[in-house]
Chain A
Amino acid sequence: MPRRKRNRKKKVQGFVLPLPFMAGIVFASALALGYIRLGTDCDRLGQDLKALETANRNLSRRLLTEEYRWSRMNSAGNLEEALWKHGMVMGIPREDQIVRIVPGERAQGREDRVSEAPLLAQALRHE
């Protein structure tokens, strides 16, 4: 059987990088790049977190200021003063300005209400 001749043109001249070694280097590089990527992401998230914390703090401070302003505005004294500036005075309605519906009147029948009438009249006379 004739000996198979090697193609001299295909023979690699000089240093050859073995495939397993090459794979190891690529894997290590990928790990290193992954680490860098994660580190960068952590830094960015930290910055985002800080920015959000700052925004939250600023909003909380603004909320405090606005709460204070609102409380000052709607205080009884301030409302009274504001009305006074416009020539108005607000008071609690007098008893004769109030229409009262006697509790239970609607639930009871007409006859019951008729029977209550003398009692009410008596009470008013008593007054």
Chain B
Amino acid sequence: MNENAVQWRLTLAGVGLGLAMAGLCARLFVLHLGAPELWGGNGSNFAEEQPAVRGRIFDRNGQRNAMALDVAVKDVCADPFVVTSDDRASCLVSRLAPLLEMTEDAVAQRIFSRPGSRFAYVSRRVPEPVADRIAAESLPGVFFRDTILRRYPQGSSMGHVIGFVNYEGVGSAGVEQRMERFLRGAPGYLESSLNAKRQELVGRRAQHIPAVAGADVHLTLDQNIQHRIERILEDTVLRHRATAGLALVQRVRTGEILAMASWPFFDPNVFVESTPEQRRNRAIAFNYEPGSTFKPMVVAAALNEGLVTPETLIDCENGVWHYLNRPLRDVRPNGMLSVTEVVAKSSNIGTAKIGLRLGDRALYRYLRAFGFGERSGIDLPGEERGILHPVERWSRLDASRISIGQAVSVTPLQLLNAVCAIANDGILMRPHVVREIRGADGATLFEARPEALGQPIRAETARTIAHMMRLAVEEGGTGHRARLDDYETAGKTGTAQKVVDGVYSGTDYVASFVGFLPVENPEIGILVVVDEPRAEGYYGGLVAAPAFRAMAKETALYLDVLPTRYRLAQRP
């Protein structure tokens, strides 16, 4: 080996060793002394919970119609120390104020209210486009915090069904509350280190469990039907200067709720601005005496027991009948009426006599079988059970009064569901508003299936009473204003006096109409209830029946329900 070779070998070893040592030192410096020192700060470990995006709520048409979803927004924050140390503080306030649509005084108040503090909220939950415009201004001391806000793009539409989330992001009403465990998702977890620029050092990430987004809830309600129902209901309530109103549309065969409207409406986006009374979903949380809309169930029970036939004649006492020394009156005097006519003309006396033939225990048994006095089990919170006292607590008079829808309280949903049972060959279905729940990965977590709760009456009894209810909508019946040209409709009017201070009021009424269509193959049931109408009449036939007609017409056309004449033509 000559001297040159040795020299070369030494040089190579020296360079190699030098490089390795320099690299190792650099690595050692980064790892132990760390880059943060280089930038003049201290590195720090942190652990944070990462919020999950809440699941969305859609109507029955799926992804096209979102009823509730999360929106990315930003909190605009400021460091008062930095802002005040900058000579352009006043300039900053004047530039920030118009972007946030606030007065300069308000912005200044927010920033400088706590002297010495290094943090202040200037405005919370600012839409991202606005935040982007502020960011483009590069204002000193102004920074942003990402946050999520629950929004309801349809505003007040379907508000009572959807509900809302509180400021902690927890569902507090409606579907938001009932489906909380599906909607909320699972928050993630991150444990890692930050550099001096407060940036995460991903290489030093100790633990990272990604957040799992909440499941999407698909409703049975249809946004378009709901919209039309709400408009018609609002028109009706305003025209009759009523205090409240509600409307329900249900699929007869499945129990699916297609629309559920309760006036006054409220906007879940600004739920704090509404009163508890406005937020009450009357469709499930309004106990009221149903009046004559209750009669079909009583007559159906008597028919089912074979105590009467449609042709059985009942003496309606020419309008006034004293039972146990208490008078019972009809709106119009009637003499002898068949059971069919009793229903069509809505005779109180006739129905009370049918109820008395049935007897207390049988009447009670049938009413319970129709679902009165207990919750229907709809997948919404806050459902009332109505009031149907045990038969042991009935007075001797009660059977005659309960038969005409007095001394008993029901919820609108109970009543519609019972009438839908008549339309559905006597089978009572469980009403529901949730059709399907899908996880963030698209997997189906829940799928609603039609669930029969029981069969209070036989199918032939149901068809008989449906025929009687059809006559109530024909000319001469109390509900003729609900008649549709293209569809044979069955229904029943109701005008119930409200109980005020323990006695029946002579001025406050609940006008209602419940019915279904088409009679020969029922598809939809609709209930309209108007509370305390004060103008243009107060009878169910005057107030609620026209609203029912408008709702039924639009819903049937929208769902493309085949008109009656085509059904007749298709019969073999």
Q: Which residues of A contact B (CB under 8 A)?
A: 10, 12-13, 16-17, 22, 25-26, 28-30, 32-33, 35-36, 39, 42-43, 46-47, 49-50, 60-62, 64-65, 67-68, 71-72, 74-77, 80, 92-95, 100, 102-103, 116, 119-120, 123-124, 126-127
Interface: B6 (CB within 8 A): yes
Sorted nearest first, the 4 A-B pairs with minimum C-beta distance are A46-B202, A61-B72, A71-B153, A32-B20
Chain B 9-26 residues near chain A, CB threshold 8 A: 9-10, 12-13, 16-17, 19-21, 23-24, 26
19 interchain pairs, CB-CB under 8 A = A13-B3, A17-B6, A22-B9, A22-B12, A29-B20, A35-B27, A39-B27, A46-B202, A62-B72, A67-B69, A75-B157, A76-B157, A76-B223, A77-B154, A93-B557, A100-B566, A102-B569, A103-B570, A120-B569
* Nearest-CB residue, chain B, relative to A18: B9
A95 to B552, CA, bound (A): 13
Query: A35 — which chain B residues lie within 8 A by C-beta?
Result: 23-24, 27
Give the interface size bracket for B toward A. Answer: 35 or more
Interface: B322 (CB within 8 A): no
Query: B199 — which chain A residues lie within 8 A by C-beta?
Result: 50
Partner of A46 from the list B69, B129, B201 (CB cut-off 8 Å) is B201
Shortest distance between the CB of A43 and any CB in chain B (Å)? 5
A73 to B337, CA, bound (A): 56
Contact B568 A126 (CB under 8 A): yes
Contact B203 A33 (CB under 8 A): no
Interface: B277 (CB within 8 A): no
Query: B13 — which chain A residues lie within 8 A by C-beta?
Result: 17, 22, 25-26
Q: A17-B10, A75-B157, A77-B154 are in contact. Are A92 and B557 (CB under 8 A)?
A: yes
Contact A32 B23 (CB under 8 A): yes
Contact A75 B154 (CB under 8 A): yes
* Nearest-CB residue, chain B, relative to A75: B154
Partner of B570 from the list A46, A102, A126 (CB cut-off 8 Å) is A102
Per-residue CB proximity of B62-81 to A under 8 Å, as 1/0?
00111001111000000000
Interface: B146 (CB within 8 A): yes
Shortest distance between the CB of B455 and any CB in chain A (Å)? 31
Contact A61 B146 (CB under 8 A): yes
* A-B contacts, CB under 8 A, total: 135
Q: Which residues of B contact A (CB under 8 A)?
A: 1-3, 6, 9-10, 12-13, 16-17, 19-21, 23-24, 26-27, 53, 56, 64-66, 69-72, 127-129, 146, 148, 151, 153-155, 157, 199-203, 205, 223-224, 226-228, 485-486, 554, 557-558, 562-566, 568-571
Shortest distance between the CB of A15 and any CB in chain B (Å)? 9
Shortest distance between the CB of B281 and any CB in chain A (Å)? 20
A38 to B23, CA, bound (A): 12
Query: B70 — which chain A residues lie within 8 A by C-beta?
Result: 64
Contact B71 A64 (CB under 8 A): yes
* Nearest-CB residue, chain B, relative to A116: B569
Shortest distance between the CB of B419 and any CB in chain A (Å)? 25
Shortest distance between the CB of A73 and any CB in chain B (Å)? 9
Q: A36-B26, A50-B200 are in contact. Are A95 and B6 (CB under 8 A)?
A: no
Shortest distance between the CB of B40 and any CB in chain A (Å)? 20
Q: A29-B19, A127-B565 are in contact. Are A95 and B227 (CB under 8 A)?
A: no
Query: A93 — which chain B residues lie within 8 A by C-beta?
Result: 557
Query: B17 — which chain A residues lie within 8 A by C-beta?
Result: 25, 29
A47 to B199, CA, bound (A): 10
Q: Other than the known A95-B557, A127-B565, what 20 A-B pairs have Cβ atoms closer than 8 Å?
A: A32-B21, A33-B20, A35-B24, A39-B27, A46-B201, A50-B202, A61-B146, A64-B70, A64-B72, A65-B128, A67-B56, A71-B65, A75-B65, A76-B157, A76-B226, A92-B554, A103-B570, A119-B571, A120-B569, A126-B565
Contact A65 B71 (CB under 8 A): yes
A127 to B565, CA, bound (A): 7
Query: B564 — which chain A residues lie within 8 A by C-beta?
Result: 127
Query: B69 — which chain A residues lie within 8 A by C-beta?
Result: 64, 67-68, 71
Contact A12 B6 (CB under 8 A): yes
Q: A61-B128, A64-B71 are in contact. Are A95 and B27 (CB under 8 A)?
A: no
Contact A74 B65 (CB under 8 A): yes
* Nearest-CB residue, chain A, relative to B486: A95
Contact A17 B146 (CB under 8 A): no
A72 to B155, CA, bound (A): 9
